Amino acid sequence: MTPTTIETPSARPGGLKLWLERYPFLPALIIVVALLALNGAFSPNSLSYRSLTGLLSTYMALIMLAIAQTYVVSAGDIDLSAGATLSLVNVAIVVLMEKWGGGTGAVVGAMICGILLGLACGVINGIVVAALRLQAIVATFATSIFFTGVALYIMPVAGTPAPALFWRTYGGRLLGLPFIFYVLAALAVLLFLLSRTRLVTQLLAVGDDQQAAYQTGLPVVLVRIKGYALCGLFSALAAFCLTGDTASGDPLVGGKMTLYSVAAVVLGGSALAGGWTTVVGSLLGALTIGLVNSLVFFMGTPSEWQNFVQGLAILLVLMAGVLAGRRARA
Amino acid sequence: MSKLKLNGVSKAYGATLALRRGDLEIAAGEVHVLMGSNGSGKSTLCKIIAGSVRPDGGEILIDGRPVTISGPQSAREQGIGIFYQELSLAGNRSVEENICLAMLPVKAGLFIDRSALKARAARYIDLFSEVSGDGFTAETLVGNLRADQRQLVEIMKALASEAPILIFDEPTSALDRAQVERFFGILRGLKRDGRGIIFISHRMDEITAIGDRVTIIRDGETIKTLNLSETDPATVIRLMVGGAGDMPASQSSAPAVANFSTGAAMTVDRLSGVGFRNVSFEVAKGEILGLGGLHGQGQSAVLRAIFGAGSITSGEIRIGSDRFDAKKPRDAIRRGCAYVSGDRGRDGVIAGRPIIENVTPIHYLRDRLMIARPSSLRQKAMPALEAMHTKFASLMHPINSLSGGNQQKVIIARWLIDRPDVLLLDDPTKGIDLSAKADLFALIRQLAADGLGILLYSSEDAELLGNANRILVFNGGSVTRELTGEDRTRYNLYQAAYEAA
């Protein structure tokens, strides 16, 4: 019996393909650079140090949420409740900080509670999806409504302000550098450490082929639950950034960010089917969305046309990224 | 004492008994070969041992102690490693990660110990270093490897389990000579270490080269265990086939030699594509041409390619005297070619929709129907369904409410509203019950009598022998033998299928 697959194309990946395998976020990086250049062309001022740090602190919440989404997408799952988790953590920490008096102790205590809350939301999602085997899209959509309900119970109306200590720190400077840079650096270290964990490799193996991972002897259910827990954790971090940026609580703030986070994951070069993801790409994908929005603003688009242009621009970027990726990987 | 012992292990999927009774005893330091035809239960038996399939009954003993294997993880803990026939690799992970995936070495309980992982993987990669071919490095993504290289990775992964009991379910199907030699060298070493090895292969020469004992499985039952040194291939094949092996098959009333003066329904000339090469044949109007051989030797690939669902690199297909090159199934359907697959879920059923919608899609396409009236559709659908003795409550019931056999009848009925010229049957009776099979073949013969040209691939040899006028035996992607008339016996079919290419 000779091989059944007679001729499989030769295994040597070409130069470009090899690069993309090692750095799958390259197309996203090129797009970000191009968008920066376009922003600069329409408004040179938008490339100033000040507006770039502003952009970063505004979109850091989306960056965190996109990274949160990336970990569940790695395992071939999806989390449509990430935005709702963000809202829940946002209102919870604002209420707690207010209740505890707004001092340093209150802020730290509230943040610890926020992280635990985010983790809890993630574990609930993980149990519902992986252990109870419900469809990820529908199940996390349902939990998102549930989390929103809890958030509305905690804070029925938006507007409770966060303590000044919290948002002044986030928007301010530390040792002469904008605080957001420290956030970015801490994030980079965290992502680097996570990328070396056994969990991330297991998540990717599960996303690659769940049946194969099970047959290999991986604890598939547990791995997927941990993926959701990681997603909950980063959703909580996203909530911190958002609270720092908006300086207030809003029980519905995260709702529309969920699908933006999914879009950012795809724009970054990850495969939504799982097994092939890049957190750096998701970071760049979130920045892409931010830059498209600011570009639409700087182009002076009339307000009634802004959504139209934004949608179109994201579609174009998505097409460019997909085409580039397909050409190189084929 | 035996390393592994199975007593009366069984497994059923719904009404189908995949494994009726599995008895097996593996001694330390032996290579124990499992032999049996397609679907006889070898893989099910292996998966039960490896924990990825739960048995319904029977007991498993390791080193004399009864054990419960609750899953692949537990099998691993009990000292069982397996090579999966369909491979268990993550395409986007590197070779070294795949090899160590089951037990990733960690430091601080959290982070992957890269250097330990590299060192461990290198041990197994080095075993095959001379034969693993171009582009095979520890860092290569498995998805970029050739089929034989992927198979090597799966072998390394099984070896890396360092389990006292190792199962290899067709580990050599894509390997070349040198790779097989190397692998056998390693197996001999493992034998000396006192490991118990289960080995499945369809190559008779490999079995005699490496095996110590052989257990034959037929129809989900372990028939007999023999010492390979005291037996010969003919005996083994005869046991696999069963008592009736030498009897000609034509008694099951298939017309032994039909007189086809009516001309060719379809001619295939030197067709090559992915999974098959240089296949030529002619099917006459009114003829049932069987495609036989072991599973996955190119039979399905040829049928799908003819239907426009696979790729053709060279060769040509003619219907009558016209060239027939279906680029897409849509073309094929419009030109009177029908395809029924055994994989109903993928290729047939429109899940969750009413029966009537499942009977009529081909009619829509062939008649370019834009607007449908249920009453006129019903008139067309009913005769087609009745011809098959399809049992259903009403045309508006969802197709999922039917049994597998009745679903398949609905799928076939959709091709009967507008008669095709050529019918391609790709293992059409997979997972359907006996009475439905009987109905199905009665209809297929009726269609042949009406002048259709029929190509039938079946993984059950009895179906081929009982219905086909001629049988082309596929081996490694091409036709190696044609069985006609009195030659159509089980014995000949097996021999041709198991021949080393």
- CATH code: domain of residue B487: 3.40.50.300
B110 within domain boundaries: yes
Q: What's the structural domain count of chain B?
A: 2
Residue B144 and residue A13: Cβ atoms within 8 Å?
A: yes
Residue A250 has pLDDT above 90, yes or no: yes
* Stretch B36-53: mean pLDDT: 84
Q: Which of A4, A193, A275 sits opposite B174 (nearest CB)?
A: A4
Burial of A318 (0-12, 13-18, 19+ CB in 10 A): middle
Instruction: Please tell me the predicted confidence (pLDDT) of residue B400.
Output: 77
What is the token pair recorded at B452?
A: 């259709």
Provide the chain B residues 452-471 that lie in CB contact (below 8 A) with chain A: none
Place of tokens 């067309």: B380
What is the token pair recorded at A169?
A: 């720190």
Task: Tell me which residue range forms the domain holding A221.
Answer: 50-168+175-255
Angle at B345 between CA B294 and CA B497, to 5 degrees: 5
A211 neighbourhood in chain B, CB within 8 Å: 88
d(CA B239, CA B221): 12
Query: What does the pLDDT look like over A79-119, one tens digit per residue?
Result: 999 999 999 999 999 999 999 988 899 999 999 999 999 99
Instruction: Please tell me the predicted confidence (pLDDT) of residue B259.
Output: 55
Residue B72 and residue A208: Cβ atoms within 8 Å?
A: no
Residue B94 has pLDDT above 50, yes or no: yes
3-state secondary structure A161-198: ECCHHHHHHHHCEECCEEHHHHHHHHHHHHHHHHHCEH
Three-state SS for B43? helix
Q: Are residues B266 and B229 in the same domain?
A: no
Among candidate residues B75, B367, B35, B341, the one with its CA nearest the CA of residue B201: B35
**Cα separation values, A255 from A65, A86, A120, A246, A306, Å:** 12, 9, 19, 15, 20
B400 within domain boundaries: no
Residue B249 has pLDDT above 60, yes or no: no
Alpha helices in B21-67 (DSSP H): 42-50
How would residue A5 be classed by pLDDT, with cut points 50, 70 and 90? very low
How would residue B434 be classed by pLDDT, with cut points 50, 70 and 90? low
Query: What does the pLDDT look like over B54-79, one tens digit per residue?
Result: 899 889 999 989 999 999 999 999 99
Residue B247 has pLDDT above 50, yes or no: no
Closest CA in chain B for residue A271: B92
B380 within domain boundaries: no
A61 within domain boundaries: yes
Q: Are residues B228 and B344 in the same domain?
A: no
d(CA B145, CA A3): 14
Q: What's the longest Cα–Cα distance across chain B?
A: 79
**Average per-residue pLDDT in chain A?**
89
A248 within domain boundaries: yes
Q: Are residues B205 and B261 in the same domain?
A: no
Rg (CA), chain B: 25
Inform me whether the C-beta atom of residue B263 falls under 8 Å from chain A C-beta atoms.
no
Instruction: Please tell me the predicted confidence (pLDDT) of residue A72.
Output: 96
Q: Are residues B286 and B223 in the same domain?
A: no
Least confident of A251-260, A275-284, A301-310: A301-310
Instruction: Please tell me the predicted confidence (pLDDT) of residue B462.
Output: 77
A151 within domain boundaries: yes
Q: Which of A4, A13, A204 sits opposite B93 (nearest CB)?
A: A204
Q: Are residues B50 and B128 in the same domain?
A: yes
Residue B147 and residue A12: Cβ atoms within 8 Å?
A: no
This complex has an ipTM of 0.85
A31 within domain boundaries: no
How would residue A329 be classed by pLDDT, with cut points 50, 70 and 90? low
Residue B260 has pLDDT above 70, yes or no: no
Q: Which of A4, A208, A217 sits opposite B298 (nearest CB)?
A: A4
B397 within domain boundaries: no
Among candidate residues A316, A1, A189, the one with its CA nearest the CA of residue B478: A1
Residue A330 has pLDDT above 60, yes or no: no
How would residue A328 be classed by pLDDT, with cut points 50, 70 and 90? low
Residue A4 and residue B106: Cβ atoms within 8 Å?
A: no
d(CA B288, CA A252): 66
A217 neighbourhood in chain B, CB within 8 Å: 71-73, 75-76, 102
Of B203, B218, B241, the residue that ends a domain is B241
Three-state SS for B456? strand
Q: Are residues B237 and B312 in the same domain?
A: no
Task: Tell me which residue range forms the domain holding B82.
Answer: 2-241
B32 within domain boundaries: yes
Q: Are residues B193 and B294 in the same domain?
A: no
B403 within domain boundaries: no
Residue A241 has pLDDT above 90, yes or no: yes
Query: What does the pLDDT look like over B319-333, one tens digit per residue?
Result: 877 787 778 888 888
Q: Are residues B429 and B464 in the same domain?
A: yes
Among candidate residues A161, A202, A177, A195, the one with its CA nearest the CA of residue A280: A195
Output phi, psi for B317, to 5 deg: -125, 135
Instruction: Please tell me the predicted confidence (pLDDT) of residue B258.
Output: 54
How would residue A129 be classed by pLDDT, with cut points 50, 70 and 90? very high
**Average per-residue pLDDT in chain B?**
84
Residue A208 and residue B93: Cβ atoms within 8 Å?
A: yes
d(CA B465, CA B471): 8
Q: Give B231→chain A minimum CA distance, Å.
A: 22
What is the token pair recorded at A163?
A: 């303590």
Rounded to the nearest angstrom, the gap between the alpha carbon of residue B306 and the centroid of all alpha carbons in its chain is 20
Q: Are residues B311 and B261 in the same domain?
A: yes
Q: Give A120→chain B minimum CA distance, Å.
A: 21
Rounded to the nearest angstrom, the gap between the alpha carbon of residue A266 and the centroid of all alpha carbons in its chain is 11
Rounded to the nearest angstrom, the gap between the alpha carbon of residue B137 and the centroid of all alpha carbons in its chain is 31
Q: What's the structural domain count of chain A?
A: 1
A209 within domain boundaries: yes
d(CA B426, CA B338): 11
Q: Are residues B31 and B169 in the same domain?
A: yes
Inform me whether the C-beta atom of residue B190 falls under 8 Å from chain A C-beta atoms.
no
Of B210, B241, B272, the residue that ends a domain is B241
B163 within domain boundaries: yes
To the nearest 10 degrees (0 to 180), the angle between helices A306-329 and A15-22 is 120
Q: Is the dihedral of CA B425, B427, B430, B434 positive or negative?
A: positive
Q: Give B246→chain A minimum CA distance, Å.
A: 24
Q: Are residues B338 and B212 in the same domain?
A: no
Q: Are residues B194 and B323 in the same domain?
A: no
Query: What does the pLDDT look like over B135-166, one tens digit per residue?
Result: 899 999 998 888 889 999 999 999 999 999 99
B427 within domain boundaries: yes
Place of tokens 């070779």: B95
A219 neighbourhood in chain B, CB within 8 Å: 73
Alpha helices in chain A (DSSP H): 15-22, 26-42, 49-74, 82-99, 104-126, 136-154, 164-171, 179-195, 198-208, 210-216, 220-246, 257-267, 279-298, 306-329
d(CA A276, CA A269): 9
Of B225, B241, B257, the residue that ends a domain is B241
User: Global pTM?
Assistant: 0.75
Residue B257 has pLDDT above 90, yes or no: no
CB–CB of B186/B172 below 8 Å?
no
CB–CB of B381/B413 below 8 Å?
yes
To the nearest 10 degrees (0 to 180), the angle between helices A164-171 and A104-126 is 80
Instruction: Please tell me the predicted confidence (pLDDT) of residue A14.
Output: 61
Cβ count near B203 (within 10 Å): 17
Instruction: Please tell me the predicted confidence (pLDDT) of residue B203.
Output: 73
B90 neighbourhood in chain A, CB within 8 Å: 204-205, 208-209, 212-213, 275
d(CA B422, CA B285): 8
A14 neighbourhood in chain B, CB within 8 Å: none
Provide the chain B residues 419-448 that lie in CB contact (below 8 A) with chain A: none
Alpha helices in B368-489 (DSSP H): 374-387, 404-413, 434-449, 461-467
Instruction: Please tell me the predicted confidence (pLDDT) of residue A9.
Output: 42
How would residue B401 be classed by pLDDT, with cut points 50, 70 and 90? confident
Instruction: Please tell me the predicted confidence (pLDDT) of residue A7.
Output: 38
- Report for A10-19, A78-87, A160-169: range of highest mean pLDDT: A78-87
